[in-house]
Amino acid sequence: MVQLTGTKKIRCAVFISGTGSNLKSLIQFTKKKKSPISIELIISNNRKAKGLKFGKIFKISNKVFNYKNKTIAEKKIISEIKKKKIKLICLAGFMKILSKDFIKNFKGKILNIHPSLLPKYKGLNTHQRVISNNEKYSGCTVHLVNSRLDSGKIILQKRVKISKFDTAKSLAKKILIQEHILYPKAIIKIFSL
Ligand code: GRF
């Protein structure tokens, strides 16, 4: 994985498409001494992503890329990432699937958070599927990104108990709280491996 050199923080980019609550928690984490990363760039495919406001609040540069043509969008993203000397990419609610070429460019350097106990419930609409299947537990997973959807090496998971009153919405809320704790923990873990 990425190597820590001296006391320098690893320059990281966070990719978002929506609310950005995980982005917010990661930014808060970077303010702590124990954080091995600094967030230097926020990338989105959606100029209306609410999370972009955190870039403004915390003075982190953000770039929005039009995904009408994915190949062009990814080329521009790669150039931006290289310009900013980014060494780690954290996907946090980024709703676009990265191409194989993109992933190859940053092999072992892309993390994602997924709201299920992978390998169960890959893909979208996770919470509804979990509830419909009467699962007793769900949770969240931080994993490395490879070319297969939600299938890279698992770094950390947190299990969350489902109550009989839970709906997809209430479960999403419960899990999100755990996501905010898990992502920073997983980042600490990969740099101490
Ligand atoms: C989270 O549940 C994350 O696991 C999933 O998308 C959601 C993003 O939420 N990949 P937020 O934008 O970080 O609030």
Counting Cα atoms < 13 Å in the Cβ hemisphere of 100 gives: 2
Rg (CA), the chain: 16
Find out whether the beta carbon of 40 lies less than 6 Å from any atom of ligand 1: no
The 3-state DSSP class for residue 63 equals: strand
Tell me, what's the pLDDT at 5? 54
Tell me, what's the pLDDT at 1? 58
pLDDT, tens digit, for every residue of 87-117? 999 999 999 999 999 999 999 999 999 999 9
> Could you check whether the bond before residue 119 is cis, i.e. omega within 30 degrees of 0?
yes
Mark whether 114 is an active-site residue.
yes
Chain centroid to Cα 143, Å, comes to 9
Tell me, what's the pLDDT at 48? 97
Q: Are 159 and 137 in contact (CB under 8 A)?
A: yes
pLDDT beneath 70, residues of the chain: 1-7
List CB contacts of 133: < 8 A, sequence separation 6 or more. none
From the CA of 46, how far away is ligand 1's center (Å)? 14
Q: Tell which atom from ligand 1 comes closest to the C-alpha of 113.
A: 4
Amino acid at 14: V
Domains and CATH numbers, the chain: 10-106 (3.40.50.170)
Q: Tell which atom from ligand 1 comes closest to the C-alpha of 92.
A: 13
Find out whether the beta carbon of 179 lies less than 6 Å from any atom of ligand 1: yes
Q: Is the dihedral of CA 54, 59, 63, 64 positive or negative?
A: positive
CA-closest residue to ligand 1 atom 6: 93
Longest CA pairwise span in the chain (Å): 50
Q: Tell which atom from ligand 1 comes closest to the C-alpha of 17.
A: 12
Q: Is the dihedral of CA 134, 136, 140, 141 positive or negative?
A: negative
List CB contacts of 95: < 8 A, sequence separation 6 or more. 17, 18, 45, 46
pTM: 0.95
CA-closest residue to ligand 1 atom 7: 93
From the CA of 82, how far away is ligand 1's center (Å)? 25
Find out whether the beta carbon of 113 lies less than 6 Å from any atom of ligand 1: yes
List CB contacts of 44: < 8 A, sequence separation 6 or more. 15, 16, 17, 51, 52, 62, 63, 64, 65, 94
Tell me, what's the pLDDT at 69? 97
From the CA of 6, how far away is ligand 1's center (Å)? 32
List CB contacts of 110: < 8 A, sequence separation 6 or more. 88, 89, 90, 91, 98, 103, 144, 145
Q: Is the dihedral of CA 96, 97, 101, 105 positive or negative?
A: positive
